Structure 1
Amino acid sequence: MRAGTTADLVVIGAGVVGAAAAYFASLAGLRVVVAERGAIAGGTSSAGEGNLLVSDKEAGPELDLALYSQRVWREDLAEHAGLWEFDSKGGLVVAASEPGLAALRELATQQRRDGVEVLDVAPGELPGHEPHLSRGLRGGAFYPQDAQVQPVLVVAHLLRLARGLGARVRTGAAVTGFLRDGERVTGVRTTAGDIAAGAVLNAAGTWAGQVAALAGVRVPVLPRRGFVLVTQPMPARTIRHKVYAAEYVGDVASSDAALQTSPVVEGTDSGTILIGASRERVGFDRTPSTAAIAALAAKAIALFPLLRDVRAMRTYLGFRPYCPDHLPVIGPDPRAPGLWHACGHEGAGIGLSAGTGKLIAQALTGGRPDLGLKPFAPDRFPGQDTEEVPQ
């Protein structure tokens, strides 16, 4: 990249959120440069299951964003759905106990008030949804809006579409600092040269806190590690939907640093079955955890007994960009005018990326965003971080 490059917007990070923002900003007519220190989709975006969920969101701003993102995926991006294997498979949440079922029914009641489509499923109806489910479950809830995509394909194609609209993507361009005019951010310094811009968007995923610190502001995004197991290929539609236990919703909302696991099982077009989900705060430690992997396998087998005889081919891990209040950071930063953020989506980043990208583009071009950004304000966090992030 030549020194002196200029743009209307620099997007830091070529993950799914950065790619969505780059696409919608380019579509709105902005000159966009994406600066990525490594490879596209080289972080969290390549280490998840590609879920687009409303089922795991409690009433509040994140559910509002999830519903809005659903509309963007299904309307604004509908013509491109085949590029990233959009699969509107639906989600089935199951409860193994009466208290768990009562909590699930209460959650569904609240979600319906906010526009979520959810159907109560009686115990005898569960085999009709998933024939291989364990017997003895107390009931469930079916969410037809839940869907899945192939996240690496989402990133690759959104960036390709953005390039077709004039955007430039620069890999191997690590951001080392910010250009300033007084308090105002006017661009970035990178290992591949300076880029002057009217606005800079921090979409650096789990590293967004470090990027923000380069601008002298605090955004407490921290990594939360999770593992996924991948099985040998199975016959098509062995598992028809995304299926998970009701306690998964509570695990998502928990701030516990210790290992948490709850069974999440779904099939893919290739026949492999993906098994999650684990959560633990261990910084950026990539050491395989036999405890996490064993717990995932055992809980998946309890949910689908036929998995006992299925071989796991591999495991992989990723780091979810976690904020203390479990809400993403989206919008302009008043502490550093010219700096914007789109980060901290934790495990929901794939699903929320489309809505986040469109909202950012609307706000950057002077429009009124379809969804208010106040709940996601970058300066909403008082005090200091409670844990250090390993470098």
Structure 2
Amino acid sequence: MRKHVDNVLIIGGGLQGCAIAMSLARAGWQVTVVEKNLAGRHASGVNAGGLRLLMRDVREYPLSLRAMEMWANLSDLVGEAAAEACEVRLGSSQIALAMDAAELEWASARTEDMQCRGIRSEELIGPEELHRLLPGLANSALGGLISRRDGHANPANAARAFRDAAEAAGARILECCALRALKPKPVGGWCADTDAGFIEAELVVNCAGAWGANVAALLGETLPIKVLALTMMVTARVKPFITPVVIGIDQPLSFKQSAVGSLVIGGGISGKPCLDQDTSFTVMDRMASSATATVAAFPALAGVPVLRTWTGLEGATPDGIPIIGPSRKHQGLWHVFGFCGHGFQLAPAVGEIVAQSLITGDVDPRLAPFAADRFAPRSPRNDEVSQ
């Protein structure tokens, strides 16, 4: 069995892992990525491909803004041919529908709050402009939020592009290679037992996605993750009628129309996750709520047949934003996972910023909201104990 020594071992070959590997390899670091399936097999390659600032948690905005710049210049990262295959469509916008008074009130309050924070990517729009942008929209729609810069890309091709770019930069990508054990070395650094043999590295980055908490648990670190199997479905082709991506505020609604006319529909509906078996299944009864929300918004779609469905395993944190930062327990270990519904657009910026933090040894301030220790029980202060 071969022993290999690296600067960094990355566990997980999804978009986050490959983006970090690409940035580190281009800086001259020796990097190995171990992926027990194929790179991008789960959440990274089977999501809706949304490139959105719309309705993002404000804590993610510094990363999201940087990521949007990088998506706009994707050929600089992955090359022209790969970038073209990624089908990046920025500027087509994303729209969040307000289908009742409560949703419209929330949208108005959010717009005001975001403007107070100096964030003006979202606009409140009324029914007239909404219906102009979305022909066939139900008359019950009262308004919504629009982010005109937003768009979408092809997630499967993007996952492949980042994987290939990391490899071209010099990273070693080991697919179908499971991690069996991971231990800190007494003299510093790490030793991993994998299907490819023992791999030694100075640093480890846990990008294991839905399995991220399991990797942390191998080292006695508890991080809270709920595993979901978010489901997508695609319909038969219909005549092109919308350009924006449409999402719900409180409704399980998310859909876009592809270039060939089919509708790609999501809505955050979870199927059945089978983490131990590395797979997941669609639960068709649950998909009815997503279909119902879509038809309620666009009644003319009621007769359009669904051709196929699929799921991808994702991990969600209790506060809805990812974990990105050093382990609170082990020196030389980083956790970068928990991106459920948020990670696709953020990936280029996460790769760049995490890589720079590892290279300099200083955690970038933009990562502060995502620290792994934010879930640790807070120790009472001395004055609290004495009361």
Residue 340 of structure 2 corresponds to residue 346 of structure 1:
yes
Is the deviation greater in 87-96 or in 215-224? 215-224
Residue 62 of structure 2 corresponds to residue 95 of structure 1:
no
Deviation at 1:202, TM superposition (A): 0.5
Name the CA shift for 1:66/1:114 in 2 (closer, same or farther; >3 Å): farther
Residue 155 of structure 2 corresponds to residue 157 of structure 1:
no
Deviation at 1:67, TM superposition (A): 2.4
Letter in 1 for 2:244: H
**Which residue is equivalent to 1:274?**
264
**Distance in 1 separating the partners of 2:98 and 2:247:** 9
Sequence identity of aligned pairs in percent? 26
1:58-137 maps to which residues of 2 (within 5 A)? Answer: 58-59=57-58, 61-75=59-73, 80=79, 81-88=83-90, 89-112=92-115, 113-137=117-141
Residue 36 of structure 2 corresponds to residue 46 of structure 1:
no
**Distance in 2 separating the partners of 1:282 and 1:63:** 31
Name the CA shift for 1:104/1:282 in 2 (closer, same or farther; >3 Å): same
Deviation at 1:240, TM superposition (A): 1.0
**Distance in 2 separating the partners of 1:290 and 1:27:** 44
**Distance in 2 separating the partners of 1:279 and 1:320:** 12
1:238-253 maps to which residues of 2 (within 5 A)? Answer: 238-247=241-250
Match of 1:293 among 280, 287, 291: 287
Letter in 2 for 1:95: A
Contact 2:54–2:121 under 8 Å retained in 1: no
Letter in 2 for 1:224: L
**Distance in 2 separating the partners of 1:135 and 1:51:** 26
Letter in 2 for 1:212: A
**Distance in 2 separating the partners of 1:359 and 1:317:** 29
Deviation at 1:345, TM superposition (A): 0.8
**Which residue is equivalent to 2:178?**
174
1:183-262 maps to which residues of 2 (within 5 A)? Answer: 184-236=188-240, 238-247=241-250, 262=252
Name the CA shift for 1:281/1:132 in 2 (closer, same or farther; >3 Å): closer
**Distance in 2 separating the partners of 1:43 and 1:183:** 35
Deviation at 1:274, TM superposition (A): 0.9
SS at match of 1:162: helix
**Distance in 2 separating the partners of 1:29 and 1:344:** 28
Deviation at 1:290, TM superposition (A): 2.8
Deviations 1:186-230 (A, max 9, x none): 232112201111111100000001111112222222312322120
SS at match of 1:270: coil
Contact 2:231–2:271 under 8 Å retained in 1: no
**Distance in 2 separating the partners of 1:205 and 1:372:** 21
Letter in 2 for 1:87: R
1:133-152 maps to which residues of 2 (within 5 A)? Answer: 133-152=137-156
**Distance in 1 separating the partners of 2:261 and 2:180:** 43
Letter in 2 for 1:239: I
**Which residue is equivalent to 1:252?**
none
Deviation at 1:371, TM superposition (A): 4.4
TM-score, L = length of structure 2 = 0.88
Letter in 1 for 2:126: A
Name the CA shift for 1:28/1:13 in 2 (closer, same or farther; >3 Å): same
1:17-56 maps to which residues of 2 (within 5 A)? Answer: 17-56=16-55
Structure 1 segments (4+ residues) deviating >6 Å: none
**Distance in 2 separating the partners of 1:196 and 1:179:** 10
Letter in 2 for 1:10: L
Contact 1:184–1:336 under 8 Å retained in 2: no
Contact 1:321–1:344 under 8 Å retained in 2: yes
